[in-house]
Amino acid sequence: MTDDIWRFDTLEQGAVFGPVTVPLDRERLTGWDGVYGPVIGDLAPDGLIVAGMMEAYIRAIQPRPKGNVHAGQKLSFTGAQARLGDSVAYTVTVAGKERKKGRNWITFAIHAQLAGTALMRGEVTAIWAA
Amino acid sequence: MTDFPDTIPPLTLTTSAETAQAYAALTQDWNPIHLDPEFAAKAGFDRPIAHGTMALNLAIQAVAQAEDGALRIADLDIRFTAPTWIGQSLTTRLTRTDGAEYDLRVVTDDGRSVLLGRARLARYDDAT
């Protein structure tokens, strides 16, 4: 399977990908600084966990078709916070699939954890290109 | 009963090739549709388009910077409704609708909404 592109038909509902570990390291922090400005203190902004979610979502399911569309997003934060330098573990689950008006809609549930403590749950709604 | 402000001060970000590169490094999403004008043109776009969650994280930052960092987003549900062309500015709009619930949108400098939805806010000293 890993040599083949993950297509709508091969992504089975309930399939779990990961965990993918994303370090809140200098490279990510430099990227954050370049867009949103410097982080004050050592607590990771919630947006850094969201950025890690996108990295995990991309890394977890590869190779993937070109042209997927990120159509919607749900997020729920637990209130727990990570610190700069921590590594956050993400799992990506195919939570739902629906073919509607000729488009392949997939909902991915993504959980972010830090050393077993839940940080965030997310749902990516995607239009899968193939 | 915790009080929440009627609006969250808007936050504006001007996108550029530099912010696109920085966001790519942040998310490790190096899709050339965000970075390469020639690739974007072949895909039918006049210019590269910003990563969608760049606007989402701008909204999360707007809340994080309000009231000296006392507020955070507890949950949200949004749709990405239009692309952001690299070079455009994005501005957040959060308006309270009821209790801790807010209408959430991010608009471009030409008045298009690129992100629409709702968010529920919380205070860091409140249980959720």
DSSP B18-87: HHHHHHHHHHT---GGGT-HHHHHHTT-SS-B--HHHHHHHHHHHHHHGGGGTEEEEEEEEEE-S--BBT
CATH of the domain at A21: 3.10.129.10
- Establish if A115 belongs to a structural domain: yes
- What range does the domain containing A96 cover? 16-128
- Establish if A100 belongs to a structural domain: yes
* Strand, helix or coil for residue B15: coil
Residues of B with Cβ-Cβ distance to A30 under 8 angstroms = 22, 25
- Establish if A69 belongs to a structural domain: yes
**Interface predicted TM-score (ipTM) over 0.85:** yes
Q: First-to-last CA distance in chain B?
A: 13
Q: Are A74 and B23 within 8 A, CB to CB? A: no
Cis peptide bond N-terminal to A63, omega within 30: yes
What are A14's two structure tokens?
């309930």
Burial category of B111 from C-beta neighbours within 10 Å (exposed 0-12, middle 13-18, buried 19 and up)? exposed
Q: How sure is the predictor about B125, in pLDDT bands with cuts at 50, 70 and 90?
A: confident
- Establish if A7 belongs to a structural domain: no
Query: pLDDT, tens digit, for every residue of A70-125?
Result: 999 999 999 999 999 999 999 999 999 999 999 999 999 999 999 999 999 999 99
β pairing state of B89-98 and B7-8: antiparallel
Nearest CA in chain B to A76: B75
What's the average model confidence in pLDDT over A31-57?
Answer: 95
- Establish if A10 belongs to a structural domain: no
Which CATH number is B7-123 given?
3.10.129.10
Question: What is the predicted pLDDT for the residue at B43?
Answer: 85
Residues of B with Cβ-Cβ distance to A56 under 8 angstroms = none
Question: What is the predicted pLDDT for the residue at B127?
Answer: 53
Q: How many domains does chain A have?
A: 1
- Establish if A42 belongs to a structural domain: yes
- Establish if A4 belongs to a structural domain: no
B56: nearest CB among A33, A34, A73: A73
Q: Are B61 and A78 within 8 A, CB to CB? A: no
Percent of all residues in chain A with a pLDDT value above 70, rounded to a whole number: 98
> Which residues, in sequence order, are bridge partners of residue A43?
A83
Give residue limits of the domains in chain B.
7-123
Cα–Cα distance for residue pair A8/A107, rounded to 1 Å: 11
Q: Are A47 and B79 within 8 A, CB to CB? A: no
- Establish if A101 belongs to a structural domain: yes
